[in-house]
Structure formats: structure tokens, C-alpha cells
């Protein structure tokens, strides 16, 4: 009889321990309720930060450090993540039973470092569709050194940023230093327009000793580029859920897709209501209140994976390029306004001014690896030509 009882007890013990481990993993904890032992459900708060090693305050109390997980009773919590030398990250988060809630903070430095990329004076920088290359004009040097340059921001310069720009056309035959530049959809070519009368097609990856004059065949080049843009837009639209495609076509004026193509930054082209696309709604998603009633002219971010829609701006300023763009991490936005450069999360939370010094308004570009921003500035000195500078975010 004892031989049967002992194995049975062991099996029961193992089953009980397995159930307890599963419950523990789901966030259940033993505690006291009205003075008696009780098993209560909790939620998990996962805290991370870049850089790591930051303090985590929950409802004003220093609770843990980042890169850690804590159990909290279901409810609303004010979470603050702070590291000395960086702006604090703050957000109200909803913790639910058996659900993992994430607090992932990009901490921005309070004293960012500026570093020059160019030193000859440049004008009219234009970024390519992949957001990795900048083309610009140089007009302050000799005819051989003047012309069009391309900075590949995805490459790592061996010495300094000043040596990382490549000249692709000079002024020995044509005044390329005064040309208006536009990129091909695939980023392999640049169309240089000189005084709106002569058009040249330039390869973006090397010196163009004999530039191709496409003045008389411009319509064919334009038609090809338009087809490439249309094909890409069609492919992106066809990748959307069927119930979303018509809404995007009718009510979204798309300003930009995020780098990972999971989010859409757009201006509402109509007053409309965005219906639920994913039903039932996913759990563990961004708990920031969303806005599904669209106002014509307002700017929003739609998260395709979570079916969440967040209002960013009431309207775009008239007559200027869009002042808002995705950061390369696909979870933050860069917002240029009122002589300042702000960054915020894609749900419009944690808007932070990272730079308020002098710069030319229309020329702000994120660095592809997300470590810095590029600006055009003369640092407030009207006696010198503006140059490209980086603002370090790490």
C-alpha cells in the first residue's frame, strides 16, 4: 500500500508545482486578503531603456531599474524612467491581469553633441527615398571642386564626416553647383535641373565625367519614375488587410510609411470614422487613448499591427514641406516647428525638444541608424555659409 501512496503523492506534488509555476508565470502571487492567504492576479510591467541602467519610478516611487520585470496589481500607473543627463520619459500605462505591459523608453540627452559634416558651405540638401543618402550643392570653391556631392549616411567614415562626401559632378562643363536636385525612386540616380532649362541624369555613386543630357527625353524619365513610385505604392497597399485598403485609398493622404512598414503617417483627406480592423481587439497593445474619428486635415499615425490610430497634429502648416517624419526606429517621430526640433513617440507621447539652436527650417534629416539628426545651419553667423551638422542622440 505504501508503495502506491508514495508515487501518487509525488505525482500530485509535481502537478501542484506545475500549476503554481504556470500561475506564477501569468503573474499570480500569494498575499493576504482580509487577513487570510489568497492568490491574486497581477500584470507584468517590462521596463527597458536606451541607454539602459535608468531608474524606474512607479506612481512617484523608485521601484526598480530598467531591463527588469515587475508585478503590479491591475490598474493605471504613472511610470517615469530617468537617467542623469537625459530627459525623463513619462507615461500613464494600464496594467491588466495576466498581460505584459511594456515601458520602452528612448532617453534623449539634455546636452546633445554637435559635429560638422561639411566645412565648405553647402546648399539645398535633398534626401533620397531610402533616407540613407543626402545630395547637396557646393558653390564656394573652384570650378573643379564646386558641383554636386552625395553623402552616404549608411557608411561608416574611416576618419571624419568631412571626408565622407563624394563629388558626383563638377562645374567645369556645366554650373551644377546651382542645379535643383531630385532623386530617382530607387535612389540610384539624380536629376539635376539647371535654370529649369537643361536637365541632366547623374549616377549617384561616382563622378559623372560625361553627364547625360535628358532635356529632350525628360518625359520618358519622368514616366519611368512615376511608374516606379506607383508600383511601390500599389505593393504597399496590397499588403494591407483587405478591410483597410479602401479606407487608406479614400481617407488617407499618406505622408510617410515607417521604416518597417508597420505604421502609416498620414493626413486625413476626409472627415471619417475608422472602423475596427482587428476584432476582437488585441491584448497588451499601446494603452494610450486613440482617436478613430478623423478630422480632415489633421495628422495621424495608424499602427497596422495593433490597429491603433493616434492623432499627432491638428493640421499641417501651409506652403511648407511636411514638418513631421518617422525616425528610423519606426516608433518615434521627428517634429520641426517654431524654430525647434522635437521628438515624440508614434502615439504623440513624450514630446521632447532636442534642439532649439539656429538651423534652416526645411532641412532636418534623421541618421539611418537612429543615433543622430542632421541639420543645415550657420550656427547663427550670417557671415558664413551654412553647413551640415549632426546632433548626437546617444
Distance in angstroms (rounded) separating the CA atoms of residues 214 and 217 = 5
Question: Counting Cβ atoms within 10 Å, is residue 108 exposed (0-12), middle (13-18) or buried (19+)?
Answer: buried
Q: Which residues have CB under 8 Å from 56's CB, separation 6+?
A: 47, 62, 63, 64, 65, 66, 68, 70, 79, 80, 81, 103
What pLDDT, on a 0 to 100 scale, did the predictor assign at position 38? 43
For 40, the grid coordinates are 491574486
What pLDDT, on a 0 to 100 scale, did the predictor assign at position 235? 94
Look up residue 32 and give its DSSP letter.
Answer: E
According to DSSP, the β-strands at 43-50 and 100-106 are parallel
Q: What structural domains and CATH numbers belong to the chain?
A: 1-41 (no CATH), 44-107 (2.60.40.1120), 119-219 (2.20.25.650), 230-392 (2.40.128)
What pLDDT, on a 0 to 100 scale, did the predictor assign at position 167? 96
What SS3 state is found at 210? coil
Contact 29, 39 (CB under 8 A): yes
CA distances from 352 to 109, 180, 340, 345 (A): 10, 34, 10, 10
Contact 376, 386 (CB under 8 A): yes
Which residue is it, cell 525628360?
A: 218
Per DSSP, the residues of 271-318 read: -EE---SSSSPPSS---S----EE-TT-EEEEETTTTEEEEEES-PPT
- Cα angle: 160, vertex 165, 171; to 5 degrees: 140
CA distances from 284 to 101, 287, 312 (A): 6, 8, 22
What pLDDT, on a 0 to 100 scale, did the predictor assign at position 394? 86
Which residues on neighbouring strands pair with residue 69, listed in sequence order? 46
Q: Dihedral angle at the C-alpha atoms of 155, 326, 233, 368, nearest 10 degrees?
A: 0
For 117, the grid coordinates are 559634416
- The structure's pTM equals 0.88
Contact 265, 255 (CB under 8 A): yes
What pLDDT, on a 0 to 100 scale, did the predictor assign at position 26? 52
Distance in angstroms (rounded) separating the CA atoms of residues 290 and 346 = 11
Distance in angstroms (rounded) separating the CA atoms of residues 71 and 352 = 29
Angle, in degrees to the nearest 10, between helices 218-238 and 242-251: 140
Question: Counting Cβ atoms within 10 Å, is residue 388 exposed (0-12), middle (13-18) or buried (19+)?
Answer: buried
Answer positive or negative: Cα dihedral of 175, 179, 183, 187: positive
What pLDDT, on a 0 to 100 scale, did the predictor assign at position 321? 75
Look up residue 161 and give its DSSP letter.
Answer: G
What SS3 state is found at 227? helix
Q: What does each of the 394 residues of the chain score in pLDDT, given as a tens digit?
A: 555 566 655 666 555 555 444 455 555 554 444 444 444 578 999 999 999 999 999 999 999 999 999 999 999 999 999 999 999 999 999 999 999 999 999 999 999 999 999 999 999 999 999 999 999 999 999 999 999 999 999 876 544 555 578 999 999 999 999 999 999 999 999 999 999 899 999 999 999 999 999 999 999 999 999 999 999 999 999 999 999 999 999 999 999 999 999 999 999 999 999 999 999 999 999 999 999 999 999 999 999 999 999 999 999 988 667 899 999 999 999 999 999 999 999 999 999 999 999 999 889 999 999 999 999 999 999 999 999 999 999 8
What pLDDT, on a 0 to 100 scale, did the predictor assign at position 163? 58
What pLDDT, on a 0 to 100 scale, did the predictor assign at position 17? 58
Amino acid at each position: 500500500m505504501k508503495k502506491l501512496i508514495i508515487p501518487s503523492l509525488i505525482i500530485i506534488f509535481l502537478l501542484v508545482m506545475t500549476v503554481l509555476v504556470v500561475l506564477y508565470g501569468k503573474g499570480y502571487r500569494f498575499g493576504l486578503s482580509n487577513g487570510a492567504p489568497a492568490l491574486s492576479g497581477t500584470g507584468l510591467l517590462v521596463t527597458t531603456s536606451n541607454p539602459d541602467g535608468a531608474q524606474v519610478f512607479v506612481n512617484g516611487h523608485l521601484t526598480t531599474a530598467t531591463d527588469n520585470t515587475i508585478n503590479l496589481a491591475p490598474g493605471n500607473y504613472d511610470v517615469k524612467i530617468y537617467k542623469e543627463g537625459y530627459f525623463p520619459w513619462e507615461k500613464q500605462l494600464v496594467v491588466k491581469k495576466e498581460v505584459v505591459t511594456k515601458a520602452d523608453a528612448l532617453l534623449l540627452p539634455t546636452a546633445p553633441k554637435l559635429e560638422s559634416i561639411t566645412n565648405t558651405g553647402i546648399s539645398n540638401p535633398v534626401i533620397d527615398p531610402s533616407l540613407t543618402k543626402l545630395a547637396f550643392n557646393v558653390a564656394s570653391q573652384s570650378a573643379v571642386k564646386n558641383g554636386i556631392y552625395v553623402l552616404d549616411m549608411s557608411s561608416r567614415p574611416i576618419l571624419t564626416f568631412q571626408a565622407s562626401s563624394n563629388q558626383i559632378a563638377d562645374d567645369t562643363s556645366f554650373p551644377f553647383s546651382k542645379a535643383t536636385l531630385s532623386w530617382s525612386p530607387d535612389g540610384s540616380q539624380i536629376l539635376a535641373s539647371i535654370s529649369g532649362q537643361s536637365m541632366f541624369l547623374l549616377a549617384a555613386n561616382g563622378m559623372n565625367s560625361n553627364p547625360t543630357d535628358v532635356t529632350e527625353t525628360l518625359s520618358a524619365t519622368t514616366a519611368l519614375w512615376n511608374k516606379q513610385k506607383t508600383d511601390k505604392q500599389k505593393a504597399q497597399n496590397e499588403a494591407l488587410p483587405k478591410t483597410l485598403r479602401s479606407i487608406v485609398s479614400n481617407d488617407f493622404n499618406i505622408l510617410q510609411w515607417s521604416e518597417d512598414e508597420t505604421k502609416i503617417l498620414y493626413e486625413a483627406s476626409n472627415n471619417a470614422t475608422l472602423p475596427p480592423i482587428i476584432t476582437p481587439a488585441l491584448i497588451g497593445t499601446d494603452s494610450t487613448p486613440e482617436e478613430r474619428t478623423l478630422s480632415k486635415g489633421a495628422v495621424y499615425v495608424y499602427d497596422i499591427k495593433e490597429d491603433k490610430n493616434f492623432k499627432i497634429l491638428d493640421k499641417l502648416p501651409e506652403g511648407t514641406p511636411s514638418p513631421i517624419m518617422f525616425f528610423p526606429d519606426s516608433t518615434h517621430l521627428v517634429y520641426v516647428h517654431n524654430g525647434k526640433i522635437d521628438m515624440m513617440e508614434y502615439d504623440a507621447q513624450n514630446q521632447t525638444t532636442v534642439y532649439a539652436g539656429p538651423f534652416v527650417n526645411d532641412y532636418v534629416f534623421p541618421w539611418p541608424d537612429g543615433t543622430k539628426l542632421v541639420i543645415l545651419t550657420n550656427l547663427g553667423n550670417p557671415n558664413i555659409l551654412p553647413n551640415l551638422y549632426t546632433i548626437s542622440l546617444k
